A and B are shown apart, each in its own frame.
Chain A
Amino acid sequence: MKKALVILLSVIMVLSFTGCAKDREVLNVYNWGEYIDMEVLDMFEEETGIKVNYNTFVTNEDMYVKLSKGRVSYDVIFPSDYMIQRMIDEDMLQKINMDNVPNYFNIADVHKNLSFDPDNEYSVPYLWGTVGILYNKTMVSDTVDSWDILWNEKYSQKIFMQDSQRDSMMVALIRLGYSQNTTDQNQVNQARDLLIAQKPLVLGYLVDEVKDKMVQGEGALAVVWSGEAVAAMELNEDLAFVIPKEGSNRWVDSMVIPKNAKNVSAAEKFINFMLRDDIMVMNANETGYSITSKTAIELLDEDWRNNLVAFPTEEMMSECEFFEYNAEATVMYNKAWTEVTAN
């Protein structure tokens, strides 16, 4: 009886081990939460026979810590602009051989040669967007066109902020009239104090769940990324989105291959696959974010293409900037954000 149990156990263990180590080629992908049409992964597996091991992170910062301190190895990651700059600075990324990514040709020129990767060596743009205020028209009587409204006591306990340090700091810095990339300790401190002063009015600091909460009408105002707004507005007609007039952040999330990637050729195949027009469209439709490809954009529904939330005019974005990475400033932001959350 006991022997039988021992044999059974060892069989289970051996089976599960071999189950893990099947000979199939594996690709490890690390992406933002809710940032892909999961069907795309099945299609990729079917077309190439490569198994995709797909995992998600919540913000650039937690992704960075897992990679740098945890030494976790991935083949493709989707960081944002400033984080790419940091990872290049710290020698964490490898150059991508664009010959193996022919679809790179489809990327619109506006998304090329950006400051964080001036020669397009390390990153391939995936989706882009802006940061703004998503609000519920039935709950907000004032005009929403400025970050100021997030400090309006009328909406106390009805405001959602981002649980993402750069985004929340950006809101406060711009409201104070400073640059969102400031490296001035004094300005950072003022922004921190402004966020602390706002805290009693805030209902929650959320990331991925904001969309659901706003659709359900649990909040009146929320700082969100544009794609969340597009998706939320589709589910609830009372919602609207605005890029505040003082300016905001614009961003592009790109695909990169880390230095410690184990399967570079599969990574290149995957990146190329993600740039294919039909795949781009699927992902855009699912996530609500704006595509970086100039050819795929033609395939979107007309409504979608003319949606000013997803594709704002250059004029609407005239005050928008990218985040930039600066090592000393990052320490300041980290500290300031910890202090905001601790308060």
Chain B
Amino acid sequence: MSKRRFAFPYLIWMTIFIVVPLFLIFFYAFTDNASGKTLFTLEHVKAIFQPLYLKVIGRSFYMSLIATLVCFVMGYPAAMILASKDFSQKNTMLILIVLPMWMNFLLRTYSWLSLLENEGLINRFLVSIGLGQVQLMYNNFAVILGMVYNFLPFMILPIYSVLVKIDKSVVEAAKDLGANGARVFLRIIFPLSMPGVVSGITMTFMPALSTFVISRLLSGGKITLIGNIIEQQFTITGDWGLGSALSLLLMVLIFISMIFINKYGDESVGAGGLL
């Protein structure tokens, strides 16, 4: 049974649509044809280390980090409550938490517009109770909020799935030996949940770092992240060199985070029988 040839169509497909595009990113990141000839250059790569782009990279990191942190602070207790045995409608609640993810990502982001505008519901409420209008849109707050809203379930789910698997007898044993609640949490539950935490962090941090939609819609084009610069290079200025160099940077960051995950992440969560 020579089934190896079954993979041939895909191998061709993979070469054309995965390998070649990847090569093109490298190609455009390291060449320049301003003079009509295609020449090797480090200009684009150097360009992203200019103070200006470092600032954008820094801003992207800063905002995604805060969003991830907020997701973690909000999500960890939620996952813990859901995983605790005295919480009855576990499955229904989990389903309710994931359900918004089935709505289109853009619609989810868009839905905040009607809440955040000056004429939006939140501001009308604030005005009606005499607190006055607050500028909620077009700033860092709005963008971070958009990130948290979009990625929160990706933080809750992996933490939850690790927490429910923790062997209850370990916790009981610690309690029997006289550890109080805080100590049990810090010494046992939290360390054991680390794989889920790492997984949740990468699942929220990476998409936040590369987004251009959330920042575009909620900051009115004022807050520029790495994704926005890439988008601008490919749709407005046509500077593929810079765009490719920045894409390359995102890929390197992914690679680093994968190493991180493999070092600290837990195999059993994801393994699912695959290799």
* Residues in A lying within 8 Å of B, measured CB to CB: 59, 61-62, 64-66, 68-69, 157, 163, 165, 199, 202-206, 216-218, 334-335, 337-339, 341-343
A-B contact pairs, 9 of them (CB 8 A): A68-B238, A204-B138, A204-B220, A204-B222, A218-B118, A338-B229, A341-B228, A341-B232, A342-B56
Interface on chain B toward A: helix, strand, loop, or mixed SS?
Answer: helix
A163 touching B221, Cβ below 8 Å: yes
Q: What are the interface flags for B126-153 relative to A under an 8 Å C-beta threshold, 1 for contact and 0 otherwise? A: 0000000001001000000000000000
Q: Complex: how many Å from CA A165 to CA B219?
A: 18
Q: What are the interface flags for B52-86 relative to A under an 8 Å C-beta threshold, 1 for contact and 0 otherwise? A: 11011000000000000000000000000000000
B contact residues around A217 at 8 Å (CB): 118-119
B contact residues around A203 at 8 Å (CB): 135, 138, 220, 222
A contact residues around B219 at 8 Å (CB): 204
Report the minimum CB–CB distance from A40 to chain B (whole Å). 28
A342 touching B220, Cβ below 8 Å: no
Q: Complex: how many Å from CA A313 to CA B236?
A: 34
Report the minimum CB–CB distance from B40 to chain A (whole Å). 20
B contact residues around A216 at 8 Å (CB): 117-119
Q: Complex: how many Å from CA A205 to CA B221?
A: 5
A contact residues around B117 at 8 Å (CB): 216, 218
Q: Kindly state the interface size class of chain B when it binds its partner.
A: 20 to 34
A contact residues around B239 at 8 Å (CB): 334-335, 338
B237 touching A334, Cβ below 8 Å: yes
A65 touching B224, Cβ below 8 Å: no
Contact of B234 with A by CB under 8 A: yes
A65 touching B238, Cβ below 8 Å: yes
How many residue pairs link A and B with beta carbons under 8 A? The number is 69
> Which of B55, B118, B138 sits near A343, CB closer than 8 Å?
B55
Question: With A61-B236, A338-B237 known to touch, is A205 a contact of B229 (CB < 8 Å)?
Answer: no
Look across to chain B and name the residue whose beta carbon is closest to the beta carbon of A66.
B235
Contact of B233 with A by CB under 8 A: yes
B236 touching A342, Cβ below 8 Å: no
* Residues in B lying within 8 Å of A, measured CB to CB: 52-53, 55-56, 117-119, 135, 138, 219-222, 224, 228-229, 232-239, 242
A199 touching B236, Cβ below 8 Å: no
A338 touching B233, Cβ below 8 Å: yes
B contact residues around A59 at 8 Å (CB): 236
A contact residues around B235 at 8 Å (CB): 62, 65-66
B229 touching A65, Cβ below 8 Å: no
A contact residues around B224 at 8 Å (CB): 341-343
Report the minimum CB–CB distance from A90 to chain B (whole Å). 12
Q: Complex: how many Å from CA A62 to CA B232?
A: 9
Look across to chain A and name the residue whose beta carbon is closest to the beta carbon of B226.
A342
What 9 additional pairs, Cβ within 8 angstroms, besides A62-B235, A216-B117?
Answer: A64-B238, A65-B238, A203-B220, A205-B221, A205-B222, A338-B229, A341-B224, A342-B53, A343-B224
B contact residues around A202 at 8 Å (CB): 222
A contact residues around B233 at 8 Å (CB): 338
Q: Complex: how many Å from CA A62 to CA B219?
A: 20
> Which of A62, A68, A206, A343 sits near B221, CB closer than 8 Å?
A206
Q: Complex: how many Å from CA A293 to CA B52?
A: 47
Question: With A204-B138, A339-B52 known to touch, is A62 a contact of B222 (CB < 8 Å)?
Answer: no
The 5 closest A-B pairs by CB, nearest first: A204-B220, A205-B221, A334-B237, A61-B236, A163-B221
Q: Complex: how many Å from CA A157 to CA B219?
A: 12
Report the minimum CB–CB distance from B123 to chain A (whole Å). 10
Look across to chain B and name the residue whose beta carbon is closest to the beta carbon of A219.
B118
Q: Complex: how many Å from CA A74 to CA B238?
A: 20
Q: Complex: how many Å from CA A23 to CA B232?
A: 38
Report the minimum CB–CB distance from A197 to chain B (whole Å). 14
Q: Complex: how many Å from CA A163 to CA B55?
A: 20
A contact residues around B55 at 8 Å (CB): 342-343
Look across to chain B and name the residue whose beta carbon is closest to the beta carbon of A337.
B237
Most chain B C-beta atoms within 10 Å of own C-beta, residue among A66, A157, A203, A337 = A203
Look across to chain A and name the residue whose beta carbon is closest to the beta carbon of B228.
A341
A218 touching B236, Cβ below 8 Å: no
B contact residues around A335 at 8 Å (CB): 237, 239
Q: Complex: how many Å from CA A157 to CA B138?
A: 9
A218 touching B119, Cβ below 8 Å: yes
B220 touching A205, Cβ below 8 Å: yes
